[in-house]
Structure 1
Amino acid sequence: MAEIRCGYVDGEWGQVHYRRSGDAGPWVALFHESPLSSAVYQHVLPLLGQHARAVAFDTPGYGASSPPQGPGQEIPDYARVLAGAAAALGMERPVLGGVHTGASIAIAASAFIPAAGLIPTGIPLYTPEERPRFLAGYAPPLVTDGEGAQFAWAIARYRRIWGPDLPAELLHVAVTELMRAGTRYDWGYNAAFRYDPAPQLQAFDGPVLLLNAEFDSLAEKDPLAMRLARDARTAVLPGLPGQPHLRQPARYAELVLGFLDRL
């Protein structure tokens, strides 16, 4: 398999951290879900890197990327900064992919960098009624104390939203990355809850692969995404509760590479 190399590029909010794999072939830019980091693609990147140049970015404020000055930034702001990072790496007509918040960033980034295609997983196409509910209660402020109650809270949280059968490795990645973001963990979440990706998805004139797990929490939005996108198809990993890039990285990479072959 291809190796993973890490690095930084300078952006308007500071440094943007990335992981990349592969030295030849088409470009792929991957964006992660809130509140994690590019570490969620650590098993996918070496597989993609055998046939493509794949880069996974840490969203500003997450992982090792510098944060914006405050929590009021919107998804197009994050997308502009990350598209600038992609351009700084020399990425030309990349395929843009992402999961949940990362799916919205990938779609929004297509307005800032010419993209050959989109591979979103779980697009947050919330209704006007859903957005206030998510903003009000999905990501409460992180409370820390000297006894480490925040760690138990994070473990319970991921067992609730990712399922009680969550493998230990996935639980470890999710909890440690949330703790790394700390009190900023909700910034990306709330930006995603405020943002409507529908207009930009509808405006995108390239092919779209809706790559999702059968029981992903946002899988019910895929039929709407199919109607909005001009040239869309679906790929569903059956039986999975979510997180196809983490639970079945080989199959996820295979589907991404198949989409690249079509292009």
Structure 2
Amino acid sequence: MHVTEAGSGVPLVLLHQSPLSGAMFLPALSLLAAAGFRAIAIDTPGFGASDPPPAPQSIAAHAEALLPALDALGCGRVHMLGNHTGASTAAAFAARHPGRIDRLILNGVALLDDAERAFFAGFEFAPLVLRADGSHLADAWQQRLKATPGWTDLGAMHRHLVTMLANPDRYFWGFDAVFAHDLAADLARITAPTLVFTNSGDDLYAASCRAAAAWPNWAFRSLNGGTHDIIDEQPGAWAGIVTDFLKAEPPAVVLGPPAVI
């Protein structure tokens, strides 16, 4: 598994959304390092520079793959932040390995209702068919435009599309894993101090608010505007909320069994 690191403090593991890589955290990595964290952005198997598994993996399998990676990095208990698909993986890890998690941040929670599932089903998640005239590139660009209403950062749009295009045969594996996963069951097992973190322009904003309402003992923070590229768009504000939660003493949550959906 490929990792990108900055800093030398308390380990903070960062898990990316699909179909991106740990590079999505680069705009905030130096800020987190300056705040005293060893920021560790991990590429999920099959994404970024991590070797692909022989077949698509479940969210639970992605979570289990973190154990040997953390051991190899010399990390015992860690803070963990997951973004979108990464949030599902982080929740799965925290539910299964509570002794390895100090504090947890779920940045974009895919606790989807039927309407949201229907919306995401409207996107074509399948291997990208390469065409000699390059029209597949234009089609992929149009799909990203459709998926990112309100975008403002052209550079981020380009970078993240290039990341997706690097894995044309498997970029959608993470989406399939999320839609097949029982996230609510994992959320109900989490005991770590937890922050639900979102932004009002994110496509998982309503779903994240739903999770925060269902688990009122968790902390909740939201930024105004932005898209699912919020780390590119507002890196300082994003890193500030992450840092504030992780450094709060005592933890800014009430521990105990979570509310039931």
TM bin (shorter chain): 0.7 to 0.9
User: Which of 78, 81, 97 is residue 62 of structure 2 equivalent to?
Assistant: 78
Q: 2 CA distance for matches of 1:44 and 1:226? A: 24
User: Which of 103, 117, 124 is residue 103 of structure 2 equivalent to?
Assistant: 117
* Alignment correspondent of 2:41: 56
Q: 1 CA distance for matches of 2:75 and 2:136? A: 39
Tell me by how many angstroms 1:94 deviates: 1.2
* CA shift in 2, pair 1:39/1:227, >3 Å: same
Q: 2 CA distance for matches of 1:230 and 1:114? A: 23
* Alignment correspondent of 2:227: 241
SS in 1 for 2:198: strand
* Alignment correspondent of 1:167: 153
* CA shift in 2, pair 1:137/1:159, >3 Å: closer
User: Which of 170, 180, 186 is residue 166 of structure 2 equivalent to?
Assistant: 180
User: Which of 1, 5, 8 is residue 23 of structure 1 equivalent to?
Assistant: 8
Superposed CA offset, 1:116-139 (max 9, x none) = 121111111124676577457441
- Segments of 5+ residues of structure 2 without an aligned counterpart are 252-261
> AA paired with 2:234?
Q
- Segments of 5+ residues of structure 1 without an aligned counterpart are 1-15
> AA paired with 1:58?
D
Q: 2 CA distance for matches of 1:44 and 1:106? A: 19
Q: 2 CA distance for matches of 1:128 and 1:49? A: 39
Query: 1:212–1:244: 8 Å Cα contact kept in structure 2?
Result: no
* CA shift in 2, pair 1:128/1:220, >3 Å: closer
Q: 1 CA distance for matches of 2:226 and 2:115? A: 28
Q: Which runs of 4+ in 1 moved over 6 A?
A: none
Q: 2 CA distance for matches of 1:164 and 1:237? A: 15
Superposed CA offset, 1:166-225 (max 9, x none) = 422111111110001211111111001111211111211121111111121111112331
* Alignment correspondent of 1:40: 24
> AA paired with 1:204?
I
Tell me by how many angstroms 1:237 deviates: 0.7
Tell me by how many angstroms 1:160 deviates: 1.3
SS in 1 for 2:206: helix
* CA shift in 2, pair 1:160/1:135, >3 Å: closer
Q: Under a length normalisation based on structure 2, what TM-score does the superposition of the two structures give?
A: 0.87
Greater shift, 30-39 or 121-130, is seen at 121-130
